[in-house]
């Protein structure tokens, strides 16, 4: 168990929403901190500017039905909000004068998404590394057919520095989803678009190698996997 400091930038975003969200969801312990910023807090491997928070679906449904309840009033009383959108599948918040944004998403990929780690000075748990990593190939790369540089780099970094967690993450993907990732790679290559450069990667060489590393990992897991049923459709958690 560790108390992890958030990088500057995400730290200010998090502080701006923590109290209103904790009130809306019945306490800090009822949320989870995930996404690339959580990985950056663990690994210090790259800069990440956004905040991704996750809650149980029932709590989020109530939040959405009540259009955030007092959350909107509480939030706007604390900070200058530039955008607030409370949707059925996620909530988006950004502020004037602060880079990045916050998303609040319902659900989880794995049965045990909470880690014993917490954001420093709070009771709010970080998600497990395999929960965070698993969402990248399953929800973004397979379901959305989207290839992003920070996802590739995070997976390549985990392959080098935390392979056990990465293996658990890939086990959350079904065989057809792994095949869809390869299609996403092909579509990206055919589209001719360049991957956006990362912000201050700790290993620039790994950033360049990451697409080939991840593609090979997907090939290897697909080769070793038997046929399986398709995952039921549902909301797509954020980063």
> Among positive and negative, which fits the CA dihedral 18, 20, 26, 31?
negative
Can you give the pLDDT at residue 67? Answer: 81
pLDDT for 149-184, tens place per residue?
A: 999 999 999 999 999 999 999 999 999 999 999 999
Can you give the pLDDT at residue 228? Answer: 46
Confirm whether pTM is higher than 0.85. yes
State the residue for tokens 């912000």. 199
> Among positive and negative, which fits the CA dihedral 177, 194, 49, 101?
negative
Structure tokens at 225: 């996997």
Q: What is the residue extent of each domain of the chain?
A: 3-127, 131-224
pLDDT in tens, the chain (239 residues): 899 999 999 999 999 999 999 999 999 999 999 999 999 999 999 999 999 999 999 999 999 999 888 899 999 998 899 999 999 999 999 999 999 999 999 999 999 999 999 999 999 999 999 999 999 999 999 999 999 999 999 999 999 999 999 999 999 999 999 999 999 999 999 998 899 999 899 999 999 999 999 999 999 999 997 654 444 444 445 44
Residue 145 · residue 180 · CB < 8 Å: yes
Can you give the pLDDT at residue 226? Answer: 66
Domain 3-127 indexed as CATH 3.40.50? no
Task: For residue 184, give the nearest of 147, 229, 215 by alpha carbon.
Answer: 147
3-state secondary structure of 221: helix
Largest CA distance in the chain: 54
Can you give the pLDDT at residue 59? Answer: 96
Can you give the pLDDT at residue 179? Answer: 95
Can you give the pLDDT at residue 27? Answer: 96
Can you give the pLDDT at residue 68? Answer: 81
pLDDT for 197-230, tens place per residue?
A: 998 999 999 999 999 999 999 999 999 976 544 4
Residue 217 · residue 170 · CB < 8 Å: yes
């Amino acid at each position: 168990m560790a108390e992890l400091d958030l990088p500057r930038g995400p730290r200010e975003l998090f502080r701006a929403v923590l109290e209103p969200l904790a009130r809306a969801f019945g306490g800090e312990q009822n949320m989870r901190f995930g996404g690339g910023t959580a990985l950056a807090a663990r690994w210090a491997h790259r800069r990440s500017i956004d905040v991704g928070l996750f809650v149980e679906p029932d709590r989020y449904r109530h939040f959405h039905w009540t259009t955030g309840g007092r959350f909107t009033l509480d939030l706007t009383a604390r900070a200058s909000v530039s955008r607030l959108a409370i949707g059925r599948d996620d909530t988006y918040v950004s502020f004037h004068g602060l880079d990045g944004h916050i998303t609040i998403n319902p659900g989880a990929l794995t049965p045990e998404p909470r880690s014993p780690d917490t954001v420093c000075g709070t009771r709010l748990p970080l998600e497990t590394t395999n929960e965070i990593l698993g969402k990248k190939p399953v929800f973004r790369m397979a379901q959305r057919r989207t290839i992003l540089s920070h996802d590739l780099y995070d997976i390549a970094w985990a392959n080098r520095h935390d392979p056990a967690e990465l293996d658990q993450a890939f086990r959350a993907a079904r065989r057809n989803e792994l095949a869809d990732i390869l299609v996403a790679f092909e579509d990206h290559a055919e589209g001719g678009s360049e991957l956006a450069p990362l912000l201050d990667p700790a290993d620039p060489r790994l950033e360049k190698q990451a697409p080939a590393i991840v593609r090979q990992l997907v090939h290897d897991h697909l080769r070793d996997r038997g046929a399986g049923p398709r995952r039921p459709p549902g909301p797509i958690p954020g980063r």
